[in-house]
Amino acid sequence: MKSHRAFGMSLALLAGLAVAWTASADYHERGPGGKSQERRAMHEAMRQQMKAQDERLDALVAAMNAAEGAAKVDAIAAVLNEMVDQRRTRRAHHEAMRGQRRGSSEQGGQGAKGGAKDEPEDAD
């Protein structure tokens, strides 16, 4: 019973992360002045990375669903570890992008959201 609840919670977390990631990508695609070729290439690379991550997670979930007994616990751990790893990768990417936006915004005196550059940053 606990493994079903953990699996359900894991899927809910994954769905939430996917929605947040998609919303973030959509926001950046609608940026002022359209997208440069460099941005398009970066977005395509992100899409490919997400597709590869989805495929890895799908394979782990399939293995988890097929597993029985103690192997099921190991398979659940593998799914959760993959999800945590993907989230850490995403967080590092977001932090790098935030740093790039800050670097370019300091030159123009505007923050990433158009405010003063010394506004407090959003809490993650």
pLDDT per residue as tens, the chain (124 positions) = 667 777 777 777 777 777 777 766 555 555 555 567 888 888 899 899 999 999 999 999 999 999 999 999 999 999 999 999 999 999 998 898 888 777 766 655 444 444 444 444 454 4
Which CA distances in Å does 67 have to 4, 107, 111? 13, 55, 50
Query: Which residues have CB under 8 Å from 113's CB, separation 6+?
Result: 119
Q: Which residues contact 17 (CB under 8 A, 6 or more apart)?
A: 83, 86, 87, 90
